[in-house]
Structures are given as C-alpha cells and as structure tokens.
Amino acid sequence: MTGELTGQIAVVTGAGRGIGRALAIRFAQAGCEVAAVARTDGQLRETVEIIEAAGGRSIYVVADVTNPHAVQAMVQSVQADLGPIDLLINNAGRALAIGPIWEADPDEWWLDIATNLRGAFLCCRAVIPEMLVRQRGRIINIASGHALGPSPYFYSSSKAALLRLTDCLANELTLQEAGVRVFAVSPGMVETRMTEYLFTSDAGRKWLPQLANVPRGTTDRVVELAVLLASGSADVLSGRFIQIADNVLEMVQHVEKIRQQGLYSLRLHKLPEPNRP
C-alpha cells in the first residue's frame, strides 16, 4: 500500500475491535506497517487478516498495556519484526466502573485508571527512548471530551489525567528539542462494544440514562484526524487536546494565540487579580 504515511511503523493499542481496529486499518491504508496490540489473540488476528487482505502489512502482539514488562517486550518484538517505531496510538481503554464515587466498585475504577492512564504512560515510556535517538516520532493519545467540565462519566478522572500527561510530555519533549510530537484526541461518541455496555448494562441504565439519547457516530472522523496528525501537518499543536469537530488546519494558523492563551488544554481559570496601587 502507498499513501501519506508510507514507510512508517505504527503501533496501535486496543486494536482488536472498535476504534482501535479502525485506526489500525486506516493507518495501513495510509502506507504504514502496523503492529496491532491488545489482550485478545482472536480479535487481533482478525484485524491483521483484514489489513493483509487489502494488501497491507501487519503483525499483532498480545500484550496487557498495564504491565510494564509486557509493554517493553511488545515494543522489542515490534522493533525486531518491523523496525523502529514512528507512530504510537494509545487507544486501549476501559470503562466498567459505572456509577458515582460512593457507588462505584473501587477495584473496577482503579482498573479503568490503570488502562486509560497507566497504559498510555507505559507505552510512551517504552517507545520514546528510540524516538529520541532518531529525533522523530509522533504519539496520539485517544482521550475523551468527558474529561472536560461537569460530567456523569465515572472515568473522567483518567481521561483528564491523560490530557495532562499529553501536555506535560509535550513540554518535556520540547525542552529536549527531540523532534517528537504528542497529541490528545477525542473521538466523540462512537458505536463500540464499550459504549454499548454503557447504554445497555444495568448500571449504565441506572446511572447514565441520558446517554441513551446521545447520537453515536462512526469511526470515520477520528481515524482521519489521527492520520492528519500523524502526517506532521499539525506538529506545532503538540500537547493540545483536539476534538473531531475542530478545524485543525485553522488551529495551525492561530498557533501563537493558542500558546499564549493556553487554548485546547486543561488550565485553571481564576478571577482577575485586584488592582493594586
């Protein structure tokens, strides 16, 4: 396959189904050699078969992104089979601790945090050293708009933390003059097995009844946004949180204003300081 990302090696976590599978397929269509990563062998095998049937090249690695040893072994396996990693898409996610804090199962809540935040951290930590050596690389963290503002979402904490991880990592990489860029992306409400659980489970119907009326979209817009960011067209926006409705190329034109005002990132807004004599 040839395309806008020809010759690059991409790792997509959570690639066994849903958004992750769609990302893996689209990156292969764009010319990447794709490593599909998840915990379920059969689902990953299906993803790879779809890519290869369309003429792409892909491998899969079964790994739990919350396990540092498994993540390190996964990265080493990808480097040995495909080569140095150019793109990391942290898509693996979990959303099972439904309910308010006083009702949610603490172990389920912590597993959500581990997958959504620790998993992204471990994968970034594993791929960045080689990216620093090569002075190139891009990381896309799949976040959520529910990280912003009041929200009934029980996993908002992990997704808000993922935005700050993206922001802090981008700053660290800028200080290193590393040539490595990192973004956070919101896919919107997409029809997946995870969101279906939110709509249909007993806990979801009890605590999140309003979601039943929220329109669910497809993966088309988020995969195109991810490919655009991976192409380097918006590298000046490293560290920013970008949603599928945002006009990325217009944002690029206003990057100085975005930086000066801290736009598209989590910031504390306060009352203005009182006038002092």
pLDDT tens string, the chain, 277 residues long: the values are: 557 899 999 999 999 999 999 999 999 999 999 999 999 999 999 999 999 999 999 999 999 999 999 999 999 999 999 999 999 999 998 877 777 788 888 898 899 999 999 999 999 999 999 999 999 999 999 998 766 755 555 678 888 999 999 999 999 999 988 899 999 999 876 666 666 656 666 676 666 666 666 655 678 999 999 999 999 999 999 999 999 999 999 999 999 999 999 999 988 888 887 776 5
User: What is the rounded CA–CA span in Å between residue 34 and residue 11?
Assistant: 6
Domain 9-188+218-261: top CATH class:
alpha beta
CA 116 to chain centre: 9
- What's the confidence (pLDDT) of residue 199? 63
Classify the phi-psi angles of 7: left when phi > 0, otherwise alpha if psi is within -120 to 50, otherwise beta. Answer: left
Residues carrying an active site annotation: 155
Burial of 84 (0-12, 13-18, 19+ CB in 10 A): middle
pLDDT digits (tens, 9 = 90+) for 36-85: 999 999 999 999 999 999 999 999 999 999 999 999 999 999 999 999 99
Task: Return the HEC string of the chain.
Answer: CCCCCCCCEEEEECCCCHHHHHHHHHHHHCCCEEEEEECCHHHHHHHHHHHHHCCCCEEEEECCCCCHHHHHHHHHHHHHHCCCCCEEEECCCCCCCCCCCCCCCHHHHHHHHHHHHHHHHHHHHHHHHHHHHHCCEEEEEECCHHHCCCCCCCCHHHHHHHHHHHHHHHHHHHHCCCCEEEEEEECCCECCHHHHHHHHCHHHHHHCHHHHHCCCECCHHHHHHHHHHHCCCCHHHCCCEEECCCCHHHHHHCHHHHHHHCCCCCCCCCCCCCCCC
> Residue ranges of the domains in the chain?
9-188+218-261
Q: Are 84 and 134 in contact (CB under 8 A)?
A: yes
